[in-house]
Amino acid sequence: MTQKSKILTGLVIATLALAGYCFRIPIWKMTVHFYDLMTDREAIQSYIVSWGMAAPVVFTAVQILQVVIAPIPGEATGFIGGFLFGAFKGFLYSSVGLAVGSMINFGIGRLLGKKFIRKLIPPSQIALLDKLVHRQGAIVLFICFIFPGFPKDYLCLFLGFSDLPLKLFFIMATFGRMPGTLALSVQGASLYEQEYVLMTVITVFCIVSAYLSYRYKENLYNWMEKLNGK
């Protein structure tokens, strides 16, 4: 980073910090209210429906925020998308929101840099991401976006201060998230259409996939290392 960029970044951070301090009370109240809303599936659903014709735009914005504000459960919002808009539209709106949110996280990582972003990510996740970024290639990182349970939102932040090109990141983050997004959208649509057998099958498949991914995560990481070597 050049000296000019460092000064500009410092000014931006200082301005944001000053604004945050001056408006800390209303910001905190809004944050608590928003977090309570976003972690309640029924509240999210009611809020989105209340917007009527603008509901798709609001839902897409919610998906963007659930990436940027990592504690928000993305599984809940993805499921609601399929329930409210159907499998195809829910998948489409979710994919757009997740792609934009991923790009925002990537941009935050690139703007704020390594020292600041590392403080936002749990140490256990930092160790894993360090290993993947420094020892693995693009194919492995793409796989990380696909399999369930991986901290994708943290990965977007982390990759922002890596040497990964923006175009390549966009492809990985957008298409890598699609299988899981599609599964959640189909689940939600199946519930709305009362196709309980299909929903149950997909749910069981997702649960088993997530469990196996977590249970054998070390094997997966070793396999990804071998894949990258080849």
Does 32 share its domain with 51?
no
Contact predicate 170/103, CB 8 Å? yes
Is 32 in the same domain as 84? no
d(CA 115, CA 45): 37
The pLDDT score that the predictor gives to residue 211 is 67
Residues 29 and 137 in one domain: no
Q: 225 and 123 in one domain?
A: yes
Q: What is the dihedral of CA 63, 55, 179, 96, to 10 degrees?
A: -60
| Per-residue pLDDT of the chain in tens (230 residues, 90 and over written 9) | 566 666 766 777 778 777 777 776 776 666 666 555 555 557 767 878 888 889 999 999 988 888 887 555 566 678 888 888 888 899 999 999 999 999 998 988 888 777 777 777 777 777 766 666 665 566 677 777 776 667 788 888 888 877 778 888 888 888 888 888 888 888 877 876 777 676 677 667 766 766 676 676 677 666 656 655 55
Domains identified in the chain, total number: 2
Statement to judge: residues 96 and 201 lie in one domain: yes
Please give the torsion angle defined by the CA atoms of residues 98, 101, 103 and 105, in that order, rounded to the nearest 10 degrees: -130
**Whether residues 3 and 22 fall in one domain:** yes
C-alpha to C-alpha distances, 162 to 13, 107, 136, nearest whole angstrom: 20, 11, 12
Spatial separation of the C-alpha atoms in residues 90 and 154, rounded to whole Å:
24
- Cα 34 from Cα 38, distance rounded (Å): 6
pLDDT confidence of residue 92: 93
> HSE (CB half, 13 Å, CA atoms) of 215?
6
Give residue 57's pLDDT: 92
Q: Who contacts 117 (Cβ-Cβ below 8 Å, separation ≥6)?
A: 108, 109, 157, 158, 160, 161
Q: Do residues 13 and 108 both lie within one domain?
A: no
Residues 148 and 76 in one domain: yes
> Residue 227's pLDDT is what?
58
Q: What is the pLDDT of residue 12?
A: 73
Judgement on whether residues 208 and 133 belong to the same structural domain of the protein: yes
Q: Is the domain of 64 the same as that of 168?
A: yes
Query: What amino acid occupies position 172?
Result: M
In this structure, the answer to whether residues 195 and 151 fall within a common structural domain is yes
Burial class of 126 by CB neighbour count within 10 A (0 to 12, 13 to 18, 19+): middle
Q: Give the pLDDT score at 119.
A: 73
**Residue 93 pLDDT:** 93
Q: Which domain holds residue 32?
A: 1-38
Q: Are residues 29 and 50 part of one domain?
A: no
Residue 100 pLDDT: 93
